[in-house]
């Protein structure tokens, strides 16, 4: 099978599974898939995500209650909670800077210096936002002004950065779900949960945000709720 055929099989096999097999399950599939999820691209390579494995039966029961007792959480053999951590930006920027120093050595050339400046100056300007949003407002006025004359990134407020971080977390989540199929397992992405209770359950700090819960297991036939439906490509794919 060609790579493209394999990928087609993986993408078409992945379904949102709402009922899992009671016993057939291998947690190694999750271990492998979490390893692959961490290879997903992330904005500025900041990797502002975390993955919490929930596998004890009493924890799964509590998680299911937090997810309003949905079938997929009630029957899951394990669940991954994907968490966005915009608050860890400084730590991750430092890690990237250390990596640049490791790669480029004591005398970084132009590319190394640009990367150091990127993580040392630009990233803090973007990610360092105050509670009241005053810095974000000033940045917005600035980019609007500069943007009159030349192309400019407009997403600079604290709210914009939350979206940036969630986007990257969701890419890791999708990488995880496709990998689970490659490992002969199934998943369902879940955003129907009580985020306040879920953060308390995982002991997360105030600024962490749950991106999604992913239930894991192996499907049983009743776990697929009908044929796949997608709106026609003509409604979503456009040629400019
Ligand atoms: C971000 C996100 C949140 C979702 N939340 C839930 C959920 O809370 N419960 C659920 O049963 N399915 C949930 N789904 C699954 C979707 O309903 C499902 O992906 C969609 O109907 C398409 O079906 P398919 O994944 O089998 O192709 C969610 C999907 C995504 C991407």
Residue 17: count other Cβ atoms within 10 Å of its Cβ.
26
Whether pTM exceeds 0.95: yes
From residue 47, alpha-carbon distances to 39, 42, 61, 144, 167 in Å are 9, 6, 29, 28, 11
192 CB near ligand 1 (under 6 Å) = yes
Average pLDDT over the chain, rounded to whole?
A: 97
The pLDDT of residue 154: 95
> Phi and psi dihedrals of 209, rounded to 5?
-135, 135
| CA 32 to ligand 1 centroid distance, Å | 23
DSSP reduced 3-state for 73: helix
202 in Cβ contact with 81 (< 8 Å): yes
Atom of ligand 1 nearest to the CA of 72: 11
The pLDDT of residue 88: 98
49 in Cβ contact with 92 (< 8 Å): no
| CA 214 to ligand 1 centroid distance, Å | 10
The pLDDT of residue 106: 85
Confidence of residue 21 (pLDDT cuts 50, 70, 90): very high
Alpha-carbon distance of 83 to 66, in angstroms, equals: 16
What is the percent of the chain where pLDDT is above 70?
100
Q: Give the least confident one: 47-56, 102-111, 201-210.
A: 102-111
* pLDDT tens digit sequence for 83-135: 999 999 999 999 999 999 999 998 899 999 999 999 999 999 999 999 999 99
Is it the case that residue 213 has pLDDT exceeding 90?
yes
| CA 15 to ligand 1 centroid distance, Å | 9
What would the mean pLDDT of 47-63 be, rounded to a whole number?
98
* Six-digit token string for 65: 């209650």
Alpha-carbon distance of 160 to 162, in angstroms, equals: 5
Is it the case that residue 39 has pLDDT exceeding 90?
yes
Alpha-carbon distance of 95 to 42, in angstroms, equals: 14
Beta-sheet strand order (sheet of 186-190): 49-54, 78-84, 209-217, 186-190
The pLDDT of residue 115: 96
* pLDDT tens digit sequence for 145-196: 999 999 999 999 999 999 999 999 999 999 999 999 999 999 999 999 999 9
16 CB near ligand 1 (under 6 Å) = yes
Alpha-carbon distance of 80 to 84, in angstroms, equals: 13
Class of domain 3-82+161-224: alpha beta
Out of 188, 193, 212, mutate this one to test ligand 1's pocket (max ligand atoms within 8 Å of CB): namely 188
Is it the case that residue 197 has pLDDT exceeding 90?
yes
Alpha-carbon distance of 136 to 157, in angstroms, equals: 4
Range 101-117 burial, b when 16+ CB lie within 10 A, else e: eeeeeeeeeeeeeebbe
228 in Cβ contact with 15 (< 8 Å): yes
The pLDDT of residue 94: 98
């Amino acid at each position: 099978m060609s790579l493209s055929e394999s990928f087609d099989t993986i993408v078409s096999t992945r379904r949102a599974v709402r009922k899992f097999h009671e016993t057939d399950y291998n947690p190694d599939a999750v271990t492998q898939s979490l390893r692959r999820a961490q290879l997903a691209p992330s904005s500025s390579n900041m990797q502002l995500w975390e993955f919490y494995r929930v596998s004890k039966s009493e924890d799964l029961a509590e998680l299911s209650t937090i997810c309003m007792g949905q079938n997929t959480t009630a029957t899951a053999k394990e669940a991954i909670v994907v968490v966005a951590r915009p608050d860890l930006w400084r730590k991750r920027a430092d890690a990237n800077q250390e990596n640049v120093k490791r790669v480029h050595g004591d005398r970084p050339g132009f590319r190394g210096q640009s990367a150091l400046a990127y993580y040392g100056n630009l990233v803090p300007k973007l990610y360092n936002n105050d509670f009241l949003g005053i810095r974000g407002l000033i940045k917005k006025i600035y980019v609007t002004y500069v943007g009159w004359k030349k192309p400019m990134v407009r997403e600079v407020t604290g709210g914009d950065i939350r979206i940036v971080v969630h986007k990257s977390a969701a890419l890791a989540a999708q990488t995880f779900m496709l990998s689970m199929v490659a490992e002969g397992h199934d998943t369902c992405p879940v955003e129907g949960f009580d985020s306040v209770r879920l953060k308390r359950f995982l002991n997360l700090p105030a600024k962490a945000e749950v991106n999604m819960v992913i239930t894991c297991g192996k499907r049983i036939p009743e776990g697929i709720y009908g044929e796949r439906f997608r709106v026609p490509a003509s409604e979503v794919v456009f040629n400019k």
